[in-house]
Amino acid sequence: MQDIMNEMDIAFPHLGIYLRNVPQSFSIGGFSIALYGVIIALSMMLGIAMAAHIAKLTFQDPDIYWDISIWIIISAIVGARIYYVAFFWDYYKTEPLQIFNLRGGGLAIYGGIILCIITIYIYCRIKKLNPAELLDTAGYGLVLGQIIGRWGNFFNREVFGEYTDSLFAMRLPEAIVRDRDITENIAKHMADGTNYIQVHPTFLYEGLWNLGVLLLMLFMRKRKKFHGQIILLYFIGYGIGRAWIEYIRTDQLYINGTHIPVSMVLSIVIAIAAFIMTLIGLARSAGKPLPWAAPAAAAQSVSKEEGSAEDSDAAQQSDAPDDAPENISKDL
């Protein structure tokens, strides 16, 4: 690996990967379009498509998820921005116009999730739907969107961790990275004669972790015992992963007046709360099958009940006296 990197290069030295001229944006008609925005938009659309697909598999109306999608997208962006600004207020209070500059980055996923949950709850109240069932279904789209969306951070050269020399160590030219994301520990590991930093690719860690969470959610789709179990599983899985990943990130948002990463604390609290709620839900649903099975399963159940009824009638007729009228059942 070379000691001097070109400004737009990205390297993973221990994997033997050197990517040259990785763009941050492209132009159409003289207008610059950030790849970050394109990837975030793509992640949202594929996430909604995923939720609609799961809805079809679980015999819900997929149109519900397309209908609510515009409100989900707005809620996700607004909530994510409010959360970021609120916990980075020391900067934005002196640069208030930058609050509206989304092209400069600054979206925090937890803010988007919180406002989306509120939006889904309101929508379900209006449409008289089960919010827990919708959240279960939307959860699949949420985690898929996160997996894809993290690659926007890759092109933006952000959401990385402290210095590392591990297998997945990533090198970025210092000039292309925000100054505030380079800690003293990272800076002191910059060798003389080089122009790059070497860090944990935490965006990649989170993407791979979320892929595991998605696979677990898909595994549990036909095994869930109550509505809400899948979204709680997401909160447990994502909360655990985000807590340790947040610990090593350099672009942390802190609880005001402290050096405590707010998203790390929130992740731990959410994971614990979701675990407790799952135990409660499982206890309440013990011995009570969830009435969400396919119509075919429901038909089989009805068939079994009818078969039981016929067996019962036959037993009653066999016990009847020999001289009982043949049409007694009709008369009754």
Which range is least confidently modeled, 89-93, 180-184, 199-203?
A: 89-93
Among the listed residues 178, 168, 185, 189, the one whose alpha carbon sits nearest the alpha carbon of residue 245: 168
Domain range list for the chain: 10-285, 295-331
> At a CB cut-off of 8 Å and minimum separation 6, what does 4 contact?
193, 194, 195
State the Cα–Cα distance between residues 15 and 22, nearest whole angstrom.
17
Predicted TM-score (pTM) of the model is 0.83
CA dihedral 270, 117, 58, 61 (to 10 degrees): 180
pLDDT at 100: 86
- Mind listing the pLDDT tens digit for each residue in 192-240? 889 999 999 999 999 999 999 999 999 999 999 999 999 999 999 999 9
254 has which bridge partners? 261
Q: At what angle do helices 35-57 and 131-156 cross, to 10 degrees?
A: 150
Percent of the chain at pLDDT exceeding 70: 85
pLDDT at 307: 52
34 has which bridge partners? 25
Which range is least confidently modeled, 115-119, 143-147, 319-323?
A: 319-323
- Mind listing the pLDDT tens digit for each residue in 260-292? 999 999 999 999 999 999 999 999 988 666 554
Mean per-residue pLDDT, 301-308: 49
* pLDDT band (50, 70, 90) for residue 321: very low
